[in-house]
Structure 1
Amino acid sequence: MKLNWSDVTPRVDYLDRRAFMVAGMAAGMAGLAPPAMALTGRPSALSTDEKPNTIAEITNYNNFYEFGTGKEDPARNAGSLTTDPWSVEIGGMVERPGSYSVADLAPENALEERIYRLRCVEAWSMVIPWIGVPLAAVLNKIGVQPGAKFVAFETLMRPEEMPGQQRAILDWPYREGLRIDEAMHPLTILATGLYSDPLPNQNGAPIRLVVPWKYGFKSIKSVVRITLTDQQPSCTWQDMQPQEYGFYANVNPQVDHPRWSQATERRVGSGLFAGRQDTLPFNGYADQVASLYQGMDLAKNY
């Protein structure tokens, strides 16, 4: 049975979440969104029935190098990011190129709730209740030309608001890409919300990619450009360290990172004595996506 987040999150956790947000706003904590109308997404059969992490865990432990390299840096530094107004430039091999607002891409009446596992390449994991729309629905509305084979994504470049970009930590702006069949897969979404609230800045506001069977770095945040192309796009981590970060980045417990094992993972928030859990092929989504890679050597196409 597939559940939505309110079914699997104990009420006390939900009330703690609200209390945390109110207290955070009162204290001026960076990156938490101001009070806003709740987002409502239709429950999806594609959601996991695993218990989601709390809002505090999700918003205070993550990677977003544009705001710093520490896990708490995004929450500490993201409050300066301006997310309204926002537009996403969509171009390349599409029928209707142009500049689109978040509401254009993810209208309220199209939102779905997707409770997904997240597996970081650093061997930690979470369960996150996203609110968003299938990327395929967006691309179908834009009109994909027949020759398009890949989708390229680019993050905002604004060093005056994103202090991490003031240093050459990465080759800015951050870039990622998917093969067209990966982009069109029903699991792939553009997320605009977390639990029932708009995305916090530190989690990729106002719109980000979520591809749950791939390592987290593929799910690019704060997207400002989407380009359809017939060439494999440039990807930031792959370009910087190709021996460690491949284009596909599918979760694969049998292919280790050169500096650590990928066979197990630590679930954030599971407690000091919970131990590690086995990592599942394709992060547990093999039944849905393994056919995309039939005949490929996933040790070479990592």
Structure 2
Amino acid sequence: MLIKIPKSWQLRDSDATPQNIYKDRRRFMAGVLKGTGVAMAGGIAGSLIGRDAFAAWVRGEKLANVVKSQYTVDEDLTPYESVTEYNNFYEFGTGKDDPFDNAKDFVTRPWTIEIAGEVAKPGTYDIEDLLRSEQLEERVYRHRCVETWSMVVPWVGVSLASIIKRLEPTSKAKYVAFETLLDPERMPGQHRRVLQWPYVEGLRLDEAMNPLTLLATGVYGEVLPPQNGAPIRLVTPWKYGFKGIKSIVRITFTEKEPPTSWNLSAPHEYGFYANVNPDVSHPRWSQAKERKVGEFFKRPTVIFNGYGEEVASLYTGMDLAKKF
């Protein structure tokens, strides 16, 4: 008899969001999620990346040669419509439907990513050239947004650690900084001063090198839609959703901790680390419980969003109430 012992990142079948809950998306959004914020974006599956892998998302372009990774759960997923039509992406507006409504014509080719700072191979790379030798993987992650909502999302992406190794950071590199495209004509939300543009985020180098850290390029086996951060975005499932910077155009290796957008905007509310932690409350609400999308009752929040086995050692000896 085969006995399967679940990993710390695996969820029970009973944790899955039933798909029939989402059949009527407008009714669902007008009801259960009204007035809330879910910072999600998705992807699934894998193939060697070529130019055809980034075809127009509106055609539902499938990604071929999918490789399933160990990071998956045997359960229902939060449906595509919920993941792709209800987003936080302030570059396209602050409303949850704004990214879906305003990003339809956002063109993601050509696209380049500048690599800079403490690294042996700096330069401006075409996205296909940067990722060409990487294998896309299917990874199903549980996600938690700072507004206390959670989802189960399937991503397509490549290991950030693999990219970093090829770029060869110097011994001075202690952090990795990310920057989103700055283009108010293409991203109308940037005309409003809700944040300091461009959006910036960062990780400590060991966090960036953790096996869980992903650069996502797709969702549900299809090319990543613009509203979800096309053509490439960051995924760190043990952190709150605002760490998942979208539409990345610059990656810089630094010796000092880089600034991050929400920390610049409200440092008393949003820290650099943003680890999911039930013991550290947001100033305006408790983080002790969360509501899984589609469920009525809240459940206890789990430290590091349930990924403690994989990431807790990164923070040994740190006061997580101060380094929040």
Structure 2 length-normalised TM? 0.81
The residue number in structure 1 matching 2:217 is 192
Contact 1:39 1:193 in 2 (8 A): no
Supply the distance in 2 between the matched residues of 1:39 and 1:160 (Cα, whole angstroms). Answer: 33
Q: What is the aligned partner in structure 1 of residue 304 from structure 2?
A: 282
CA distance in 1, matches of 2:117, 2:57: 34
Which amino acid in the other structure matches residue 158 of structure 1? Answer: D
1:41 and 1:123 mapped to 2: Cα distance?
32
Residue in 2 that maps onto 1:260: 285
- The partner residue of 1:138 within 140, 163, 171 is 163
**Larger RCO, structure (CA 8 Å, separation 6 or more):** 2
Aligned-pair Cα RMSD in Å: 2.2
Aligned pairs (5 A) from 1:147-226: 147-226=172-251
What's the CA shift for 1:100? 1.7
Measured after TM superposition, the shift of residue 39 of structure 1 is: 4.1
Unaligned 5+ segments in structure 2 are: 8-12, 24-55
State the one-letter code of the partner of 2:315: Y
Residue of structure 2 in register with 1:301 after alignment:
323
8 A Cα contact 1:39 1:198, kept in partner:
no
Residues 33-48 of structure 1 aligned to structure 2 (within 5 Å): 33-48=58-73
- Deviation string 1:65-99 (CA, Å, 9 cap, x unpaired) is 01111111110111131101111111111111112
Per-residue deviation, 1:101:
2.4
What displacement does 1:105 show?
3.2
Q: How many Å apart are 1:184 and its aligned residue?
A: 0.3
Moved over 4 A (4+): none
Structure 1 distance, partners of 2:236, 2:180, is 16
Q: Rate the CA distance shift 1:109–1:248 in 2: closer, same or farther, 3 A.
A: closer
Alpha-carbon distance in 2 for matches of 1:213, 1:195? 21
Aligned match of 1:28: none
Report Cα offsets for 1:99-119 as digits up to 9, x if no partner: 222223333761111100111
In the alignment, is the contact (CA less than 8 A) between 2:57 and 2:223 conserved in 1? no
Q: Secondary structure at the match of 2:234?
A: strand
Give the SS at the match of 1:80.
coil
Give the C-alpha shift of residue 199 in structure 1. 0.4
Q: Give the drift of 1:234.
A: 0.9
SS in 1 for 2:264: helix
Matched to 1:280, the amino acid is V
Alignment-derived partner of residue 148 in structure 2: 123
Partner Cα distance (1:167, 1:283) in 2: 32
CA distance in 2, matches of 1:39, 1:126: 25
Measured in 1, the distance between the counterparts of 2:131 and 2:266 equals 34
Q: Note if contact 1:41-1:132 (Cα within 8 Å) is conserved in structure 2.
A: no
In the TM superposition, residue 48 of structure 1 has moved relative to its aligned partner by 3.4
Shift of 1:32: 5.1
Partner residue of 1:21? none
Q: 1:69 maps to what in 2?
A: 94
Give 2:127's match in structure 1, choosing from 92, 102, 127.
102
CA–CA distance in 2 between the matches of 1:35 and 1:49?
24
- 8 Å CA contact retained: 1:50, 1:127: no
Aligned AA (1:297): D
Match of 2:117 in 1: 92
Contact 2:288/2:300 (<8 A) preserved: yes
* Fraction of identical pairs, as percent: 55
Residues 143 and 153 in structure 2, CA contact (< 8 A), matched pair in contact too: yes
- Matches of 1:40 and 1:194, distance apart in 2: 15
C-alpha contact (below 8 Å) 1:133/1:189 kept by paired residues: yes
Q: Pick one of 59, 69, 81 that aligns with 2:106.
A: 81
In the TM superposition, residue 239 of structure 1 has moved relative to its aligned partner by: 1.0
SS in 2 for 1:79: coil
Q: Distance in 2 between matches of 1:37 and 1:127?
A: 20
**One-letter amino acid matched to 1:277:** R
Q: Given the alignment, which residue of 139, 144, 151 partners 1:114? A: 139
CA distance in 2, matches of 1:230, 1:223: 20
For 2:117 and 2:133, locate their aligned partners in 1 and report how far apart those are by CA, in whole Å.
27
In the alignment, the residues of structure 2 paired with residue 195 and residue 35 of structure 1 have an alpha-carbon distance, to the nearest angstrom, of 10
Aligned pair in 2 of structure 1 residues 199, 153: CA closer, same or farther (>3 Å)?
Answer: same
Q: Give the whole-Å Cα distance in 2 for the aligned partners of 1:301 and 1:38.
A: 39
